[in-house]
């Protein structure tokens, strides 16, 4: 049987047979040609491909050749270093708000982000994130093709890694060079960071439009809080989809307008909602969510979740946020300078260097992600603002019409009375609360920290009485002379400008803020440089010509409310100055403390002096210029206080303290040269009363909100070295028999370490006995003085004592014991008063009912008056009496003045009294018709002020009815600022108007 044929052999035979046929030969030729052409095309394509690739690679290399080769650490630092908005806090960690920054961002961890949001980002931004190595080639070629062909649809091709590179290392520039660098760096970054690190960085840096306050935001945590008011980890599916869709066009899709413009209208919200639906669809297509989840989310009303528009912290707390930021910049500039090896003290000396570091610090403060903790108590600060806003008696608000520089239209500007106040904790220096002004939109200047105004009489305990006690010049009750003086053309006055109070206890002079006493005491110590005490307490706006001059006693220099408050806090601290501060600590974004405040007390006064001044200032609320404040308090506390009023009522002050806290308050107009606080005082009350009332309300607020800090039950404790000693009330020295006989022994506090009254009293020894009174001042009677005006029983003082008390300015010894003097009831001046040349000036008379009255003579040496009826003397009235006498009988009446030498003036105008026709001639007290007829008396002397004898005559005083001015307001009289008699505008005399 024939064996079966090999199949392969069979096929080969068939093929050879076909090739031998006619058609086989034709196919063989054609296929050879095609094959050869195919090889030719393939080789050409490969050559062209290699050439194109080489050209492309060369072009790519040319695009990136300038890009430096970054190390792993450099790449990581560049990616992970991104701006984060710093945050502000009240005391005790209570959140205040964000600082002002171009973009707001808060860092978060990947573990704190909702999985819905991560999936939404993958679905819309980088579907192959888990697989690629930084780039997706087909996406790059697709994008390149679309760009080259200028296709209408631009799908983009950037991975999350590429977007991270663009935002953190490169720029948003549209160019092939930037894209080439982006590709190169993205591939390199994937080698240095894992996927989770890249994703976390991306979620923290990408912009997401605006928040409800209209601020630009970046990062998913900031977006979740700013748009929905929740944490990123708590986002639901529709919320996550909405946020994930924002980066494509953040300002188109964001639901809020810029600059606090609120939420967009429904038609302008639609693009963002449609974008959310697109993201949800992509999530379904990529199987991140189910069909059911998609159907539920697509009909979700996302608008109900949007945050309500709200004010930023800088709008809710403008004075506070700006002040915290300003102080933070100061601190950070010093920290940055130290890091650069620069002594922070140089920043105070070199303006350009300071400006450089302040710019750096400002940028760092805004975008460094700091947590800035302040000392300000939120509830107390809020209550202070309520008290400020509800106070009804600031004073008149002026309205100025100005031209708007932009619109050229006329507009009105309000010019209200401004306010500055500060409350601080004594022991620590913590600023607990403050009032920066009436309305930040009207005036942004912080009147508590940045406004520097003359301090007026509030300076007296710090600059005058405190140093005087420290130098051993006085005790708390030592006598100080409140007597008129003239120093190089300057004649200061008390608030009641026609009053001098003579010798008064120091505590009385301070409590009632007598100006002349303070100026004279300053004169005794100014050669000892008392201004150094203010220097130690950081009063840094004192000019050279204002240092250690008499006018300084009335507060001619300027200070802020903060500085003045801290100065009085020094007294509460037992003489130790503790610098006030508002920044407790600063933490970086990782929680590391980069700054922590440390208090460093500076000894200014001894504890003994501090206590004695405090004890003296206790009298101010009890019986002095702060009684209104005391009466308006709704609780009891051990409080010491001092008021201050500057010339012309430009400023009023009140600063008070107890052992735990100090509160300072100032009122005034910003334009103090144009507006004065006493405008419409009949409507608002005296400025001094207003500041008293507002101070009481603020202090009541402190006790209501922070009673534990105020500690109303605390009392000042008398330290060792403060002793009570008896002394002669008019000399301040050890009691003498004569002083005791005059009933002038007093007791008060002394600093035993520097001064107790051991030296023998030297006040008595001059001629005493008979005396007269001229214009309220006692003088020894002369032999020629009419006896009807002479009084007896007074003791005389020695000339040496009078000279010592009036030094260094001198003055009239008679002023030491004016009428109604508490220490001079039985004292007569040591100096005889010879009167002035010529007869005194006649008074003016008038008829008042059944009496004749007259005005006080203008002559300063008049001791009494004679009243005449029909040429016969009917009455003698001593100076200081009622200046009236009965005039019921018909006839002519006139008055003459009598001086201390016995000379009489000419007649006053003659008053004629005529009887009524029906009058009973026997009834001198009947209702006669009296007519007043004034005759010119040819004997009357012209109204001419007599010349005064030098050195031993009192200055002419103004009439009692003259307008009263605040302390130091003497018309055009200004104090010499530096002893050369020059006028210095910043050195106008100031004083209490209380």
Nearest to 769 by CA among 784, 758, 779, 757: 779
Cis preceding-peptide flag for 808 (omega within 30 of 0): yes
With respect to residue 864, please indicate whether it lies within any of the assigned structural domains.
Answer: yes
Q: How many CB atoms lie within 10 A of CB 64?
A: 14
Instruction: Report whether 657 contacts 663 (CB < 8 A).
Output: yes
In the chain, how many domains are there? Answer: 7
Task: Annotate 660-698 with b (16+ C-beta within 10 A) or e (fewer).
Answer: bbbbbbbbbbbebeebbbbeebeebebbbbbbbbbbbbb
Whether residues 505 and 560 fall in one domain? yes
* Contact residues for 905 (Cβ-Cβ < 8 A; gap 6+): 839, 840, 841, 842, 843, 857, 859, 896, 897, 898, 940, 941
Whether residues 429 and 409 fall in one domain? no
* Residue 84 half-sphere exposure toward CB, CA atoms < 13 A: 20
* Contact residues for 307 (Cβ-Cβ < 8 A; gap 6+): 211, 212, 226, 227, 228, 229
Whether residues 294 and 201 fall in one domain? yes
With respect to residue 873, please indicate whether it lies within any of the assigned structural domains.
Answer: yes
* Contact residues for 268 (Cβ-Cβ < 8 A; gap 6+): none
* Residue 205 half-sphere exposure toward CB, CA atoms < 13 A: 22
- Look at residues 311, 342, 368 and tell me which one is the last residue of a structural domain: 311
**CA gap 632, 628 in Å, rounded:** 6
**CA gap 223, 311 in Å, rounded:** 17
**CA gap 162, 185 in Å, rounded:** 8
What is the side-by-side order of every strand in the sheet holding 418-425?
431-435, 418-425, 661-668, 651-657, 640-645
Q: E strands within 436-473?
A: 453-454
Is 744 strand, coil or helix?
Answer: coil
- Domain holding 472: CATH number? 3.40.710.10
Instruction: Compute the residue count for the chain.
Output: 994
Whether residues 850 and 865 fall in one domain? yes
Tokens of 31: 């296929």
What pLDDT, on the 0 to 100 scale, is given for residue 778?
77
With respect to residue 974, please indicate whether it lies within any of the assigned structural domains.
Answer: no
What pLDDT, on the 0 to 100 scale, is given for residue 33?
64
Q: E strands within 814-861?
A: 827-828, 845-848, 851-854
Is 288 strand, coil or helix?
Answer: coil
The secondary structure element, H or E, covering residue 209 is strand 207-210
Whether residues 299 and 330 fall in one domain? no
**CA gap 161, 135 in Å, rounded:** 8
Whether residues 304 and 324 fall in one domain? no
Tokens of 624: 């002095």
Listed in sequence order, the DSSP H helices in 582-686 are 607-617, 619-623, 627-632, 681-684
Q: Looking at the whole model, is its pTM more than 0.95?
A: no
Q: What is the DSSP letter of 226?
A: I
Strand partners, 42: none
Whether residues 297 and 385 fall in one domain? no
Whether residues 125 and 273 fall in one domain? yes
- Domain holding 225: CATH number? 1.10.3810.10
Tokens of 543: 């000019």
With respect to residue 664, please indicate whether it lies within any of the assigned structural domains.
Answer: yes
- Cα-based distances in Å from 289 to 128, 138, 283, 828: 17, 26, 6, 106
Cβ burial of 631 (10 Å; 0-12, 13-18, 19+) is exposed
Q: Residue 29: phi, psi to the nearest 5?
A: -70, -45
Whether residues 662 and 741 fall in one domain? no
Block residue for tokens 């953040």: 250
With respect to residue 589, please indicate whether it lies within any of the assigned structural domains.
Answer: no
Q: How many CB atoms lie within 10 A of CB 472?
A: 13
Task: Annotate 844-873 with b (16+ C-beta within 10 A) or e (fewer).
Answer: bbebeeeebbbebbbbbbbbbbbbbbeeee
Nearest to 925 by CA among 882, 887, 888, 890: 888
Is 189 strand, coil or helix?
Answer: helix
Block residue for tokens 């000419």: 906
Listed in sequence order, the DSSP H helices in 477-635 are 506-511, 515-525, 531-536, 561-572, 607-617, 619-623, 627-632
- Cα-based distances in Å from 16 to 5, 27, 32, 34, 315: 17, 13, 17, 21, 99
- Look at residues 286, 311, 336 and tell me which one is the last residue of a structural domain: 311
Q: Residue 72: phi, psi to the nearest 5?
A: -60, -45
With respect to residue 949, please indicate whether it lies within any of the assigned structural domains.
Answer: no
Strand 602-603, strand 398-403: pairing: unpaired
With respect to residue 95, please indicate whether it lies within any of the assigned structural domains.
Answer: no
Whether residues 278 and 325 fall in one domain? no
Whether residues 300 and 327 fall in one domain? no
Whether residues 664 and 736 fall in one domain? no
- Domain holding 864: CATH number? 2.60.40.10
- Look at residues 710, 735, 761 and tell me which one is the last residue of a structural domain: 710
**CA gap 499, 159 in Å, rounded:** 88
What pLDDT, on the 0 to 100 scale, is given for residue 951?
38
With respect to residue 673, please indicate whether it lies within any of the assigned structural domains.
Answer: yes
Q: Walk along the chain (994 residues) in steps of 10 and give the mean pLDDT of each run.
A: 56 64 61 68 72 55 59 83 89 93 87 96 90 80 63 63 84 68 83 92 92 91 95 97 94 89 92 96 95 96 92 91 97 94 90 92 91 98 98 96 84 95 98 97 96 97 98 98 96 93 96 98 98 98 96 96 98 98 95 95 98 98 97 98 95 98 98 93 94 98 98 97 97 93 94 96 76 81 91 81 94 85 73 77 94 93 95 93 90 95 95 68 39 40 38 37 38 44 40 48
Write out the residue range of the structural domain in which residue 804 sits: 769-828
**CA gap 786, 866 in Å, rounded:** 11
């Amino acid at each position: 049987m024939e064996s079966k044929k090999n199949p392969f052999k069979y096929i080969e035979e068939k093929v050879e047979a076909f090739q031998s046929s006619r058609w086989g030969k034709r196919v063989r030729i054609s296929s050879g040609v095609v094959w050869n052409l195919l090889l030719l095309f393939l080789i050409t394509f490969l050559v062209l491909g290699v050439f194109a690739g080489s050209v492309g690679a060369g072009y790519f290399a040319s695009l990136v050749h300038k890009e430096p080769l970054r190390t792993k650490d450099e790449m990581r630092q560049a990616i992970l270093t991104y701006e984060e908005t710093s945050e502000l806090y009240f005391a005790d960690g209570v959140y205040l708000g964000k600082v002002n920054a171009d973009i707001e961002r808060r860092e978060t961890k990947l573990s704190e982000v909702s999985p819905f949001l991560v999936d939404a980002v993958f679905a819309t931004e980088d579907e192959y994130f888990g697989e690629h190595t930084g780039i997706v080639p087909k996406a790059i070629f697709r994008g390149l093709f679309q760009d080259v062909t200028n296709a209408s649809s631009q799908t983009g091709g950037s991975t999350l890694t590429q977007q991270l590179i663009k935002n953190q290392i490169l720029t948003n520039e549209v160019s092939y060079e930037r894209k080439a660098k982006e590709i190169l760096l993205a591939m390199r970054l994937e080698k240095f960071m894992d996927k989770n690190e890249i994703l976390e960085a991306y979620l923290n840096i990408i912009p997401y439009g605006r928040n409800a306050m209209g601020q630009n935001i970046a990062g998913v945590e900031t977006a979740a809080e700013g748009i929905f008011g929740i944490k990123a980890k708590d986002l639901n599916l529709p919320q996550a989809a909405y946020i994930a869709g924002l980066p494509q066009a953040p300002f188109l899709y964001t639901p809020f307008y810029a600059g606090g413009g609120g939420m967009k209208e429904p038609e302008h919200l639609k693009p963002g909602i449609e974008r959310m639906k697109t993201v949800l669809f992509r999530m379904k297509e990529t199987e991140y969510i189910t069909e059911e989840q998609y159907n539920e989310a697509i009909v979700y009303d996302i608008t109900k979740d949007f945050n309500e528009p709200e004010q930023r912290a800088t709008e809710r707390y403008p004075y506070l946020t700006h002040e915290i930021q300003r102080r933070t910049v100061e601190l950070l500039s010093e920290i940055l300078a130290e890091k650069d090896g620069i002594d922070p003290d140089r920043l105070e000396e070199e303006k350009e260097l300071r400006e450089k570091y302040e710019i750096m610090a400002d940028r760092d403060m805004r975008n460094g992600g700091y947590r800035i903790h302040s000392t300000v108590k939120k509830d107390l600060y809020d209550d202070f603002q309520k008290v400020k806003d509800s106070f009804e008696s600031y004073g008149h608000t002026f309205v100025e019409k100005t031209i708007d520089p932009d619109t050229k239209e006329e507009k009105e500007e309000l010019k209200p009375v401004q306010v500055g106040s500060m409350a601080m904790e004594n022991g620590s220096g913590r600023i607990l609360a403050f009032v920066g002004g009436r309305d930040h939109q009207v005036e942004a200047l912080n009147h508590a920290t940045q406004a520097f105004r003359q301090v007026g009489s509030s300076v007296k305990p710090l600059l005058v009485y405190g140093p005087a006690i420290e130098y051993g010049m006085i005790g708390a009750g030592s006598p100080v002379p409140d007597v008129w003086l003239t120093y190089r053309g300057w004649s200061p006055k008390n608030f009641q400008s026609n009053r001098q109070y003579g010798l008064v206890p120091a505590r009385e002079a301070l409590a009632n803020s007598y100006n002349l006493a303070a100026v004279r005491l300053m004169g005794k110590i100014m050669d000892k440089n008392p201004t150094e005490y203010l220097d130690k307490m950081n009063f840094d706006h004192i000019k050279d010509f204002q240092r250690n001059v008499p006018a300084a006693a009335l507060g001619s220099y300027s200070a802020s409310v903060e500085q003045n408050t801290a100065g009085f806090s020094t007294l509460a601290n037992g003489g130790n100055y503790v610098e006030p501060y508002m920044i407790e600590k600063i933490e970086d974004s990782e929680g590391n403390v980069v700054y922590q405040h440390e208090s460093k007390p500076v000894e200014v006064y001894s504890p003994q002096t501090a206590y004695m001044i405090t004890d003296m200032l206790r009298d101010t609320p009890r019986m002095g210029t702060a009684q209104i404040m005391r009466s308006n308090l709704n609780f009891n506390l051990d409080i010491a206080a001092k008021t201050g009023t500057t010339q012309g009522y430009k400023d009023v002050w009140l600063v008070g303290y107890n052992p735990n806290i100090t509160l300072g308050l100032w009122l005034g107009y910003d334009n103090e040269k144009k507006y004065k606080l006493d405008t419409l005082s009949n409507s608002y009350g005296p400025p001094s009363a207003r500041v008293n009332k507002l101070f009481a309300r603020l202090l009541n607020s402190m006790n209501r909100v922070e009673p534990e800090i105020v500690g109303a039950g605390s009392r000042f404790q008398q330290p060792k070295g403060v002793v009570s000693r008896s002394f002669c009330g008019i000399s301040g020295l050890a009691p003498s028999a004569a002083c005791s006989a005059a009933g002038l022994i007093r007791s008060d506090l002394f600093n035993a370490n520097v001064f107790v009254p051991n030296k023998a009293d030297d006040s008595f020894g001059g001629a005493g006995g008979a005396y007269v009174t001229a214009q309220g001042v006692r003088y020894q009677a002369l032999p020629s003085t009419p006896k009807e005006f002479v009084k007896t029983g007074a003791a005389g003082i020695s000339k040496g004592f009078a000279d010592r008390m009036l030094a260094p300015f001198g003055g009239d010894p008679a002023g030491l014991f004016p009428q109604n003097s508490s220490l001079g009831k039985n004292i007569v001046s040591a100096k005889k008063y010879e009167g002035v040349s010529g007869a005194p000036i006649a008074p003016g008379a008038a008829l008042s009912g059944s009496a004749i009255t007259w005005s006080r003579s203008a002559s300063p040496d008049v001791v009494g008056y004679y009243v005449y009826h029909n040429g016969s003397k009917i009455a003698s009235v001593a100076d200081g009496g009622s200046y009236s006498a009965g005039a019921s009988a018909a006839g002519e009446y006139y008055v003459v003045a009598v001086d201390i030498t016995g000379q009489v003036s000419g007649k006053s105008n003659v008053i004629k009294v005529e009887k009524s026709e029906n009058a009973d001639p026997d009834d001198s007290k009947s209702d006669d018709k009296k007519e007043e007829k004034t005759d010119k008396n040819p004997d009357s002397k012209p109204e001419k002020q007599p010349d005064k004898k030098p050195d031993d005559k009192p200055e002419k005083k103004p009439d009692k009815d003259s307008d009263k001015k605040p302390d130091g307001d003497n018309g055009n009289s200004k104090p010499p600022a530096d002893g050369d008699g020059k006028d210095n505008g910043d050195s106008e005399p100031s004083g209490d108007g209380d």
